[in-house]
């Protein structure tokens, strides 16, 4: 983004989306049809919160994250930059998903997703 400082990015929120109080939404983010974002959540820049996704309270979603349709994030979930969460995924509360992760469609995330460790010498 710093390469093009004169560009104006817009945030698009569908009229059927429900946004709670104290929610911060970064520029260039799109909130799609029937998405729900509950109170005290922070959504980064250039994210997509897709159709019928539910983001519960106190979540932090960093920049360039795609939340696919029908995803449910319980409370206090952290999602790192450049992460994709696949269709219909459920993520339990108090989970940390680090940067650049891909969570497959239909997943149930019950443990934090840590950074990949290189085991080669």
pLDDT digits (tens, 9 = 90+) for 61-119: 999 999 999 999 999 999 999 999 999 999 999 999 999 999 999 999 999 998 765 55
User: What pLDDT does residue 4 have?
Assistant: 76
pTM: 0.90
Provide the residue range defining the domain that includes 3. Answer: 1-111
In a domain, 50, yes or no: yes
Q: Edge-to-edge strands of the sheet including 78-79?
A: 24-25, 42-43, 60-61, 78-79, 96-97
Which are the catalytic amino acids? 57
In a domain, 120, yes or no: no
CATH, residue 55: 2.160.10.10
The more confidently predicted of residues 120 and 14 is 14
In a domain, 80, yes or no: yes
Count of domains in the chain? Answer: 1
As a whole number of angstroms, the distance between CA 93 and CA 99 comes to: 18
């Amino acid at each position: 983004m710093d390469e093009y400082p004169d560009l104006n990015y817009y945030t698009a929120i569908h009229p059927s989306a429900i946004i709670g109080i104290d929610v911060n939404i970064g520029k260039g983010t799109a909130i799609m049809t029937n998405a729900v974002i509950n109170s005290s959540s922070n959504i980064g820049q250039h994210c997509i919160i897709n159709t019928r996704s539910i983001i519960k309270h106190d979540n932090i979603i960093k920049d360039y994250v795609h939340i696919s349709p029908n995803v449910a994030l319980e409370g206090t979930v952290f999602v790192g930059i450049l992460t994709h969460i696949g269709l219909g995924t459920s993520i339990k509360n108090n989970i940390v998903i680090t940067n650049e992760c891909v969570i497959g469609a239909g997943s149930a995330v019950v443990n934090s997703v840590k950074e990949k460790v290189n085991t080669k010498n």
